[in-house]
Structure 1
């Protein structure tokens, strides 16, 4: 297996939630802490942030956005630049059901030939739970300059392997993202139900 770092995207606006999603509690940990624990098998855990001061209490390497407001591709760009490894697993901070097993299986699919290994759910790409190589930095830089925000254009310009979540986990809940208070309440109920089983 390639040596891979992990990067958690925590710099989003959380506008639909009304509060910082990274800090929402999921059991005894916040979203960002829970995901960091699931990434502990990776070479290093970094956290992509819009403002370093807001996350200074976290015991992980913080990687700050340079191009403010550009969105998640800025986080991916900065994580790749900061990484000590060729590949970085990128995970959004609003995926509290993501688990170590799925992430490790995804990492094991990296052969060194791919620029991107992209997770999909029923054919729908999940760019914020995927693996990227430093080889895509030049393409990302061009996209930043042109204000292009769509990851699909990155994949069209690079060697990309697509992986269905069903190949890694029979329960697609692993990549459910939480955007609203209602979704958060539902997720908490699901977590409690899982613990009850």
Structure 2
């Protein structure tokens, strides 16, 4: 398997949840600790993108900050890609607690000739659980200069491979990889799912 970096976008304090989502706990570990552990099973390097590094420092994990804060996930992706020492990078959001390692391995295996490898679900493309190459940096910078914060806006400029939902389901039958926590209700449901998965 290709040697890649893992990049976690920590986001920040959720206005809807009222707390830092990645510091929530499912079981004994925080979501962030669990994600870092999983990524180190796949990646040689793990980078956290955070504008509050004092909250997210972890041993052996580099913390990168946005060059210009408050540019959303695209700004975080840029900071992570620039900090990375690897050509291909697996970028995930910190509020997705059910990362599926088999799906992630498949994305990495498909990355060789592409700049973006992105899974799809019934909601469409899932850009915050996808592979991005260093070739994306210049195009992301251009979009940010133009105040265009939509992640998929630069895809037409790079080589993209889409992994269709039916293929994703082969690895993640319930599509839990893309379950994200935005509200208290989402967190309560995540705790229930966690208990189910631990049985």
Query: After TM superposition, is the score higher than 0.5?
Result: yes
- SS of the residue corresponding to residue 127 of structure 1 reads coil
**TM-score of the superposed pair, with normalisation by structure 1:** 0.93
**Partner in structure 1 of residue 81 of structure 2:** 80
Could you say what the CA RMSD is over the residues aligned between the two structures, in angstroms?
1.5
CA distance in 1, matches of 2:177, 2:70: 27
**Partner in structure 2 of residue 187 of structure 1:** 190
**Partner in structure 1 of residue 92 of structure 2:** 91
Aligned pairs, number: 195
CA distance in 2, matches of 1:117, 1:135: 13
Query: Is 1:177 matched with 2:180?
Result: yes
Alignment of 1:31-70 (within 5 A): 31-40=31-40, 41-57=42-58, 59-70=60-71
Change (3 A) 1:55 1:156: same
Shift, 1:71, TM fit: 0.5
Shift, 1:169, TM fit: 2.2
Ranges of 4+ aligned residues in structure 1 off by more than 4 Å: none
**Partner in structure 2 of residue 22 of structure 1:** 22
CA distance in 2, matches of 1:64, 1:24: 21
Shift, 1:56, TM fit: 2.8
- SS of the residue corresponding to residue 126 of structure 2 reads strand
Shift, 1:152, TM fit: 1.9
Q: For structure 1, list consecutive stretches of 5 or more residues without a partner in the other structure.
A: none
CA distance in 1, matches of 2:64, 2:180: 22
Q: Is the 8 A contact 2:100 2:172 kept in 1?
A: no
Change (3 A) 1:63 1:55: same
Shift, 1:95, TM fit: 0.6
- SS of the residue corresponding to residue 142 of structure 1 reads helix
Shift, 1:159, TM fit: 0.9
Q: For structure 2, list consecutive stretches of 5 or more residues without a partner in the other structure.
A: none
Query: Is 1:10 matched with 2:10?
Result: yes
Residues 43-100 of structure 1 show CA distances to partners (whole Å, capped at 9, x for unaligned) of 1111110222222355411011111100011111111111111011001001101132
Query: Is 1:146 matched with 2:115?
Result: no
CA distance in 1, matches of 2:148, 2:102: 33
